[in-house]
């Protein structure tokens, strides 16, 4: 704890504290950087995702559904439709299926 003026600020409050907010901002920045450079430099993008996952595990954060659904769970690559994954809509079961072209893993998301 540090004393600023008359109030105490606790820096190690996990998700709710200042450290958690900074970690969430870094995760968003790293994901946007990985997304921008996936087409030109896939190795650099993979290292950004590796750092992102390390931050998430270290600070016990949860990825929001938007980010979680765009990273392959098996090979940890940012999925870009048409570049490194295929997207198929299964209207009978109301699913969207993303297939990673690197590891061939399949991820299904329900839509209504």
How many whole angstroms separate alpha carbon 69 and alpha carbon 78? 9
Phi-psi category of 21—alpha, beta or left, where left has phi over 0 and alpha has psi -120 to 50?
Answer: alpha
Could you give the CA distance from residue 73 to residue 83 in angstroms, rounded to a whole number? 17
pLDDT level of residue 3 (50, 70, 90 thresholds): very low
Q: Which CATH architecture has domain 1-68?
A: Up-down Bundle (1.20)
Mean pLDDT, residues 84-95 taken together? 91
How confident is the model over 28-78, as pLDDT tens digits? 999 999 999 999 999 999 999 999 999 999 999 988 888 888 999 999 999
CA-CA-CA-CA torsion sign (36, 39, 44, 46): positive
Residue ranges of the domains in the chain?
Answer: 1-68, 72-112
Instruction: Give percent of the chain with pLDDT exceeding 70.
Output: 86
Cα–Cα distance, 71 to 91 (Å, whole number):
23
Rounded CA-CA distance 54/36 in Å is 20
């Amino acid at each position: 704890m540090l004393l600023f003026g008359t109030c105490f600020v606790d820096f190690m409050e996990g998700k709710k504290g200042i450290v958690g907010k900074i970690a969430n901002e870094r995760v968003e920045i790293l994901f946007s950087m990985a997304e921008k450079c996936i087409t030109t430099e896939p190795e650099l993008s993979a290292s950004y995702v590796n750092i992102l996952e390390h931050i998430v595990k270290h600070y016990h954060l949860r990825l929001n559904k938007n980010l979680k659904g765009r990273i392959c769970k098996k090979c940890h690559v940012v999925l870009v439709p048409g570049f490194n994954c295929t997207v198929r809509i299964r209207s009978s079961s109301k699913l969207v299926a993303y297939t990673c072209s690197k590891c061939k893993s399949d991820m299904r998301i329900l839509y209504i």
